[in-house]
Amino acid sequence: MTQIRTDWTREEIAGLFNLPFTELLFQAASIHRENHPPEQVQMCTLLSIKTGGCPEDCGYCSQSVHADSGVEATKLMDVRAVLQSAAQAKDAGSQRFCMGAAWRNPKDRDMPAIVDIVKGVASMGMETCMTLGMLTPKQADMLAEAGLDYYNHNIDSSPEYYERVISTRKFEERIETLDHVRSAGINVCSGGIVGMGETREDRVGFVHTLATLPQHPESVPVNALIPVKGTVLGDMLADTPLAKLDDIEFVRTIAVARITMPMSMVRMSAGRESMSEATQALCFMAGANSIFTGDKLLTATNAGDDRDGALFAKLGLTPLKGEEPMRNAANGDRSDISEMEAAE
């Protein structure tokens, strides 16, 4: 089993990024095979349970009130409607149901409905994940008691580049929420977005931050920016098309994440709909073992089930096997999970 390290230096991570591409992929694929079934990919579905109207000014986000993207603000979805969507996702083959609300932080009055949603989705046997913004320790404890498997709170980029993307929330506040989640006994899901105009040095800093946390995130989503018209970054990159991140650099980021965080689920998230089949195949070779299925993410389009099914057939990939979702050890519910999940 691969040694788990949390003492990576930026120099070491930069050295991985700078490896010849074939050598980097060989190392990443070798580590992936040591710790995960290489032919299996977890199928996930993402649902926006509360869209738009977010007070944050994240430069990439179409749901920000600061963006002129045409996204209309909605109220929190009815519990029954969310559970119906979860049931449909399960019937379509998803093993993990992720739910996002466009909030800076949930209000206490929203928590009872959120708790009911978590309990309902978990009762279907699906792995549950939520992203609701910043959490207080009490709110994190409520989610843990409800049975939430993962909480997503991305760090977005390196500490140095972060302030060029967001001004309404400090980088340290994101780390603080991750601490609340970890202390509550919920698995951490944290990654970020590449292709926002950052340098490779920033991508090094992004991976370094996650790989040197006291405990690696069990889930690391790596998103390729989807430039949305009306957002700061979308409009900026529309005027500078050469700023789009090179596909090989995206694959390098996946590979470095896999090497430095060998037991984590590395999730190839937003941006797949614009990637070629060859690029996605390289990502799977580099250690990505989770994708979002369906035609839509929160507000952006996605590759779609038919295209994913055809790609999986072409590559000989299969959905991740396992009867029960992963439960965090602190929740006292790991007795019946698969061997692969226990290794996480």
Listed in sequence order, the residues at least 6 apart from 80 whose beta carbon sits closer than 8 Å to its beta carbon are none
Listed in sequence order, the residues at least 6 apart from 1 whose beta carbon sits closer than 8 Å to its beta carbon are 34, 35, 343
DSSP three-state, residue 100: strand
Question: Rounded to whole angstroms, how far apart are CA atoms 4 and 216?
Answer: 9
| E-strand stretches of the chain | 40-50, 96-101, 127-131, 150-152, 187-189, 192-194, 219-224, 265-268, 290-292, 318-319
Cβ proximity of 320 and 95 under 8 Å: yes
Site of tokens 């994708």: 291
Of the candidates 231, 260, 232, which has an alpha carbon nearest to the alpha carbon of residue 17? 260
Listed in sequence order, the residues at least 6 apart from 234 whose beta carbon sits closer than 8 Å to its beta carbon are 60, 62, 69, 227, 228
- The set of catalytic residues is 54, 58, 61, 98, 129, 189, 267
